Structure 1
């Protein structure tokens, strides 16, 4: 078996993903935290996001896409929604001073690789 420079051994294995859309509607601003395209499940935070707000990301299979919203001291009302592969999964509403809401979904684990 002939080996190249070895760079192919260092390449990260590609993890299957699902397209997830997070949407927050309402007026004013809110602090947001959502699951992005990280295999480690690291959350992405957005402070003072101007509403309405929408973001589409690729989330690795086996992770659970989630978005949390927190209103400020001015209160108000905001609604989060999550869609997986363009299909609505969940929505929730935050209202009042420092109101909170969380929307989440479940993604299936990636299929095991076939061995030769």
Structure 2
């Protein structure tokens, strides 16, 4: 017989921290950011309308990162990262295909008592 629910229970819940990414400016930008993702791949939003803001859970031990790329027409946009409401970093992109990257740090996950006893 096949068991459908047993595999999901074996997955350990990864602790996360709340991260807010914010991009201000006018026009649009391609925005790439790290969020809780099983494969570890970044999420990409093409031609996102500015201003843009998103709060997502990011696994502890990972680096929250947001990158912006302006379009051919350029302009100016500013990215910022806040971890649990605390500002970490900001940067500005300007001009045609201007780029900026902002990152922060999250604490490493603390070992559970069961891990420490082993």
- TM-score of the superposed pair, with normalisation by structure 2: 0.88
Tell me the alpha carbon deviations over residues 40-77 of structure 1, each in whole angstroms, 9 at most, x when there is no partner: 42100000000000000000101100000000110100
Please identify which structure carries the higher helix content.
2
**For the structure 1 residues 72 and 110, does the alpha-carbon distance in structure 2 shift closer, same or farther, using more than 3 Å as the test?**
same
| Structure 1 portions without partners, runs of 5+ | none
1:8 Cα deviation after fit: 5.2
**For the structure 1 residues 6 and 82, does the alpha-carbon distance in structure 2 shift closer, same or farther, using more than 3 Å as the test?**
same
**For the structure 1 residues 56 and 63, does the alpha-carbon distance in structure 2 shift closer, same or farther, using more than 3 Å as the test?**
same
Q: Counterpart in 1 of 2:43?
A: 44
1:113 Cα deviation after fit: 1.4
Q: Counterpart in 2 of 1:26?
A: 25
RMSD, aligned α-carbons: 1.7
1:108 Cα deviation after fit: 1.3
> Which moved further from structure 2: 5-14 or 106-115?
5-14
Matched residue of 1:62: which SS?
A: coil
CA distance in 2, matches of 1:109, 1:39: 17
How many residue pairs match? The answer is: 112
CA distance in 1, matches of 2:25, 2:75: 8
CA distance in 1, matches of 2:7, 2:38: 19
CA distance in 2, matches of 1:33, 1:6: 34
Matched residue of 1:73: which SS?
A: coil
| Structure 2 portions without partners, runs of 5+ | none
**For the structure 1 residues 32 and 6, does the alpha-carbon distance in structure 2 shift closer, same or farther, using more than 3 Å as the test?**
closer
Q: Counterpart in 2 of 1:105?
A: 104
**For the structure 1 residues 6 and 47, does the alpha-carbon distance in structure 2 shift closer, same or farther, using more than 3 Å as the test?**
closer
